[in-house]
Amino acid sequence: MRAFLNWAMQSRHCRRSLSIPAMKVSRRTALSEDERLDALGRLLTDTEMPMRLRVAGVIVLLYAQPVSCIVRLTVDDVIRGGDTVLLRLGEPASPVPAPVAALLLEHIANRDNMTAATNPASRWVFPGRRAGQPARPDHLCVLLNEVGVPSAAGRGAAIRQQLLELPAPVVADALGPQAKTTTRLRNEAGGTWSRYALGDHATSPGGWVPRGTGDR
């Protein structure tokens, strides 16, 4: 609307004395590390909670993924090899700890919205009700918030924790955010990786998994 009104005033399609209020952007404070770990514990153990919300919430809190990206994951992004499960969010794919892997694989085997005649072959990890479409991110955000996992605040907490443990370029490559954003968040979180050498790092640090993924 702001861009349209500016165009209309400059093109003299309306009077040029319109006053456009400044847009206010509110940001919810990121969860504390204790709150993030508590939410992870509930997601991993609460069998009364819908499985898709448990899995989506874990991906937010471990891998700092926005819901708009989570709903675009396909079963091909879940890579299985022996006892190892990887989740392709960036490059290289990120290891999935055993408790989370079990939850993720159970969800994939019993996904919602797969019984419709037009949806039995869906590749989405989170199929939507419309044939061939993933779940709506806005709807999933609301449901996550209702179970105590505010997506933006949870994502902020997750990425800040990873940036305390790893260089911003590694986090950006593995989890997907832009390097510029991770560098800013690293500074806010107090990270100390200023001497890390930029470049092509083909593999994640050996054995790395997002913190807070142990059995609870």
On the question of pLDDT at 5 being above 80, the answer is no
Query: What is residue 178's predicted lDDT score, i.e. its pLDDT?
Result: 44
Report d(CA 154, CA 65) in Å as an integer: 9
Q: Is the pLDDT of residue 200 over 50?
A: no
Least confident of 110-124, 144-158, 171-185: 171-185
pLDDT of res. 91 = 78
Rounded to the nearest 5°, which phi and psi values hold at 142?
A: -60, -45
Q: Can you give the pTM of this predicted structure?
A: 0.69
Long-range Cβ contacts of 154-157 (<8 Å, 24+ apart): 154/30, 154/31, 154/36, 154/39, 154/57, 154/60, 154/61, 155/60, 155/61, 155/64, 155/65, 155/66, 156/29, 156/30, 156/31, 156/64, 156/185, 157/30, 157/31, 157/32, 157/33, 157/35, 157/36, 157/61
Q: What is the mean pLDDT of residues 168-187?
A: 59
99: pLDDT strictly greater than 90: yes
pLDDT digits (tens, 9 = 90+) for 162-177: 777 777 666 667 666 5
Q: How far apart are CA 27 and CA 47, in angstroms?
A: 31
**Residue 74 pLDDT class (50, 70, 90 cuts):** very high
Residue range 113-117: mean pLDDT, rounded: 61
Across 14-23, 53-62, 76-85, 128-137, least confident range: 14-23
CB atoms within 10 A of CB 17: 6
Nearest to 183 by CA among 199, 167, 196: 167
Question: Averaged over 146-171, what is the pLDDT?
Answer: 82
